[in-house]
Structure 1
Amino acid sequence: MLEKILKSFVCLSLAVLAAGCAAPVKQLDYTAFKQSRPKSILILPPLNESPDVKATYSMLSQMSYPLAEAGYYVLPVALVDETLKQNGMTAADDIHAIAPAKLQEIFGADAALYVTVSKYGSVYTVINSAVVVTANAKLIDLKSGELLWSGSASASSAEANNNSGGGLIGALVAAAVNQIVNSVSDRGHDIAALTSQRLLSTRQPNGILYGPHSPKYGTD
């Protein structure tokens, strides 16, 4: 009987270890990216799949910096947005449906960044309240329409929370306070900045490649 229990324990332990060992990250194929080597990037207004109407422009305002830091010329997002509006394009899904060649003709950029925001805003559970922003992106060559790169990222205000000191009551009070704070302030804007950094960083696994204005251009 003891032997059977020990065998079961060993099997269970091995299963837990196997589950705990994260599968290796699949290496992204950068062949098309390296052949295209875009110099300028057009950021399109993100699609918003969250219930918060602020998600599109909150993310849009945050993505130029990490791309510029990576070494790319980024077309001014306010100018791009106004140009699209002047041409009757106000909905992100309609903008994303414009043919890449047409976008290249209008803006002259080498590539366009298509972003979708799947989560933006407060998530409330019994003992926690957090602001979460999750997005995915695709970089498309505007001349060929070919996919150059894709990625996803998420960030949460709960990453820095520590509710262990006050017990259950303290956690419940902290969650209620956080919920009120999240409701009266746009903490999502700050979390969107962190999501954008993670999404478009050259330092992340399978991250975007360095651009031509970076001293590290061509080393990745």
Structure 2
Amino acid sequence: MKKFYPFIGVLVLLVLQGCESTSRSYSKRDAYPLMYEEAVKSILVVPAVNQTTAADAPVLYATTVLPPLAEAGYYVMPIPVVEQLFQQQGITDGSQLREVDTGQFKNLFGADAVLFVTIVRWDTSYYVTGGNVSVGLDFTLVSTTTSQTIWSQAQTLNVETSGNSNDLLVSIIATALNTAFTKYIDLAHDINGAAIRQLPVGPYHPNHRQDGEEPVSQTGRVVNR
């Protein structure tokens, strides 16, 4: 039995190290050091990549992203103008821009960074006595100087729309109404706010360069309401 003791000790050590790594909290400076090095002032938001079957998702989403970025202290290139310029070049989906040298965005728009957003969920689901509405977004901010990813987040918000009635017919009707009145735009606003709160604030925010020790949550969060 004694010959197994060294192996057991190593196993326990690995488990403890694993627990430590998953429970460790990170500050903004630890998680996103390049944000502080790059001194980003201006952000270009390109058309979202739509991985869902909802054809109108990118158009609806585009109306939600500018305010939280501006409130975080960044200058954001006017989104309608940017989208019109891309459309004139036949670009309507952000996937067409993923392989473009990000330095081109700096040359054309003068932006310090470009934000790519992927819509991974924009769905309504029903089951026998209930339903839910779900929006999932992936964010990637890329430097136009170095082409490196300097910030990223991924969050999904699920809203339960079940009728919660003992009467099956009443519950079905209530679920349908609740689902119909749950607006995707409102969920997108909430996700933008939650994700961008993890972003180090920009130069037009009073806490610029003073938020480095603030904790950040893990990327890839799923929130149910």
**TM-score of the aligned structures, taking structure 1 as reference length:** 0.77
Residues 45-99 of structure 1: CA distance to partner in whole angstroms, max 9, x if unpaired? Answer: 1100111011112112111011001000000000111111222322321122221
CA drift at 1:25: 6.1
* Structure 1 residue matching 2:31: 3-state secondary structure: coil
Q: Hey, what's the Cα distance between the residues in 2 that align with 1:89 and 1:107?
A: 16
Question: Does the CA contact (< 8 Å) of 2:135 and 2:157 recur in 1?
Answer: yes
Are 2:86 and 1:95 equivalent residues in the alignment?
no
Aligned length: 186
Q: Hey, what's the Cα distance between the residues in 1 that align with 2:142 and 2:167?
A: 48
Q: Hey, what's the Cα distance between the residues in 1 that align with 2:93 and 2:205?
A: 33
Name the structure 1 match of 2:112: 110
Q: Hey, what's the Cα distance between the residues in 1 that align with 2:105 and 2:43?
A: 11
* Structure 2 residue matching 1:167: 3-state secondary structure: coil
CA drift at 1:125: 2.1
Name the structure 2 match of 1:175: 175
Name the structure 2 match of 1:124: 126
Correspondent of 2:55 among 45, 53, 56 = 53
CA RMSD of aligned residues (A): 2.1
Alignment of 1:118-157 (within 5 A): 118-157=120-159
Unmatched 5+ stretches in structure 1: 1-22
Alignment of 1:37-52 (within 5 A): 37-52=39-54
Q: Hey, what's the Cα distance between the residues in 2 that align with 1:124 and 1:25?
A: 37
Question: Does the CA contact (< 8 Å) of 1:126 and 1:175 recur in 2?
Answer: no
- Name the CA shift for 1:168/1:218 in 2 (closer, same or farther; >3 Å): farther
Q: Hey, what's the Cα distance between the residues in 1 that align with 2:47 and 2:195?
A: 16
Q: Hey, what's the Cα distance between the residues in 1 that align with 2:32 and 2:184?
A: 32
Alignment of 1:14-93 (within 5 A): 24=23, 27=26, 29-93=31-95
Name the structure 1 match of 2:201: 210
Opposite residue 174 of structure 2, the aligned amino acid is: A
Say which is worse superposed, 116-125 or 134-143, in terms of deviation.
116-125
CA drift at 1:162: 7.1
CA drift at 1:26: 5.3
Residues 161-190 of structure 1: CA distance to partner in whole angstroms, max 9, x if unpaired? Answer: 5744x22624333223335x26xxx82122
Q: Hey, what's the Cα distance between the residues in 2 that align with 1:195 and 1:25?
A: 23
Are 2:168 and 1:191 equivalent residues in the alignment?
no
Q: Hey, what's the Cα distance between the residues in 1 that align with 2:31 and 2:159?
A: 32
Unmatched 5+ stretches in structure 2: 1-21, 212-225
Name the structure 2 match of 1:10: none
* Structure 1 residue matching 2:194: 3-state secondary structure: helix
Residues 122-171 of structure 1: CA distance to partner in whole angstroms, max 9, x if unpaired? Answer: 1212222222111010110011101101001222332xx5744x226243
CA drift at 1:106: 0.7
Deviating beyond 6 angstroms after TM superposition, the runs of 4 or more aligned structure 1 residues are none
Q: Hey, what's the Cα distance between the residues in 2 that align with 1:187 and 1:26?
A: 33
Name the structure 2 match of 1:219: 210
* Structure 2 residue matching 1:109: 3-state secondary structure: coil
Question: Does the CA contact (< 8 Å) of 1:40 and 1:109 recur in 2?
Answer: yes
Opposite residue 24 of structure 1, the aligned amino acid is: S
Question: Does the CA contact (< 8 Å) of 2:162 and 2:174 recur in 1?
Answer: no
Question: Does the CA contact (< 8 Å) of 1:44 and 1:96 recur in 2?
Answer: no
Say which is worse superposed, 57-66 or 85-94, in terms of deviation.
85-94
